[in-house]
Amino acid sequence: PCCRRYVAGGQCKSTARLEGKVVIITGANTGIGKETARDLAQRGKVIIACRDIAKAEAAASEIRAETGNQQVIVKKLDLADTKSIREFAEKFLAEEKELHILINNAGVMLCPYSKTADGFEMHLGVNHLGHFLLTFLLLERLKQCAPARIVNVSSLAHHGGRIRFHDLHGEKCYNRGLAYCHSKLANVLFTRELARRLQGKFQRQAGFTANALHPGSVYSELVRHSFVMTWLWKIFSFFLKTPCEGAQTSIYCAVAEELDSVTGQYFSDCQPAYVSPRGRDDEIAKKLWSVSCELLGIQWD
């Protein structure tokens, strides 16, 4: 029915091949990450970077069987632990000579208050800081292999977010719904500042881009931490995208030929979408960048 078609939203029409190219997708053992991996595995080599190796292997073998592509590889990555992120990057750089597309897809949502191994609030730590560090560690390899793309999965929820520099880790005041919104705003600001830094001579010559996206409201495991949301998701599942429909904009940002030189943008349903005023604030973006570097103990100029 047309209502269902409307819910499904935009579809990635690109048939671009990725022969000889390498894609990393974080959190690709379930939900939209898995569907993104399934699609891209029909085009080229995919590395599934996940915390749960057993789940990731199950997803990878299903995708290998379905696509006939044996180049679907699982590597361990726990975004809630900077040691694990550094180990993943070190191992990847030693084993793989190429990297063309990095899809920062993994995320947590509505967690009860908790901290990462490094003492970061869980939403900010996994959704923003973990991917910030991962991107930093893989950036040189992406540059060497340009044209390259970085795709950050954000959310419409960024409209409800603000970067609370005075209480980044929610120690004074914590609301798990808002914590998710804050982290998704951080994704948008990170993308914006990253694109700005990649621009200039290098980006124009090489087509090195960074874009963010809203996948849509997707029926997936992401709401598992909330009984109420899980219940609502079940009731309204007809009005939610399937993971396959939700993956379309990620796939679009990763492969669509018309985005070869488009950078620093935010997409939804495979087209440019409205970004909140806070998500367009360059001063906050710059400040978040330097605070993130400080927290992670890195120098990224």
Active site residues: 180
Of 6, 117, 140, 110, the C-alpha closest to 51 is 117
In 80-145, which ranges are E strands?
101-104
Place of tokens 């954000």: 154
Q: Please name the residues in contact with 156: beta carbons below 8 A apart, sequence gap of 6 or more.
A: 214, 217, 268
Decide: 63 and 138 in contact? Cβ < 8 Å.
Answer: no
Buried b (16+ CB within 10 A) or exposed e, 74-85: bbebbbbbbebb
CA distances from 141 to 22, 136, 289 (A): 11, 10, 21
